[in-house]
Amino acid sequence: MKPSLPIRNSDVMTNDYVMVDGLHTVAEAIKLAISHNVSMLLVNKRHEHDEFGMVLMSDIARKVLAKDKSPERVNVYEIMIKPVFSVHADMDIRYTARLFERFGINKAPVIEAGEILGVVTYHDIVLKGMMTQA
C-alpha cells in the first residue's frame, strides 16, 4: 500500500483577511473588515527586516472597546499582535494543528519566501483537510 501524500497548508488555506498598515486607525481597520467581510486583519511589514502583525476583532474589543478608547484615535500598531505566528505553505496540516495546540492559537498566516499567501485556521484544517483524507 502506497502512503498518501500529506495535505499541506497551501491546500487548505483561504484568503479571508485584509492587509492593513500599522498607521491605520482602528476605525479605518473596522471599516475595511466590514467591507471585505473578514474577522482578521494582517498588518504589513514596514521594511524588509520587519515582521507581519495581526489584529483580530477580539483584540479590538479587548484593547479598544473594553477600555473605552476611541477607535478614531488608536492606531492598529498599538493593539496588534507582532510578530505573528506563521506557518510554511508546504507544512503538513497535522504539524500545523500540533503547533496551534501547543501555542494556544487557532489561525496563522501562511508564508512563503517572506510573503503572505493566505491564512490557515483550525476550521480550514478540519473541513478542507481531514475530509479529503476520508
**φ/ψ (deg, to 5) at 73:** -115, 0
The answer to pTM > 0.95 is: no
Q: Print burial letters for 115-130: b (CB count within 10 Å at least 16), e (below 16).
A: ebbbbbbbebbeebbe
- Decide the pairing of beta strands 87-88 and 107-112: parallel
Ordered per-residue pLDDT tens for the chain, 134 residues: 455 788 999 999 999 889 999 999 999 999 999 999 998 999 999 998 999 999 999 999 999 999 999 999 999 999 999 999 999 999 999 999 999 999 999 999 999 998 999 999 999 999 888 766 54
What pLDDT is attached to residue 130? 76
Q: What is the distance between the alpha carbons of residues 84 and 110, in angstroms, rounded to a whole number?
A: 11
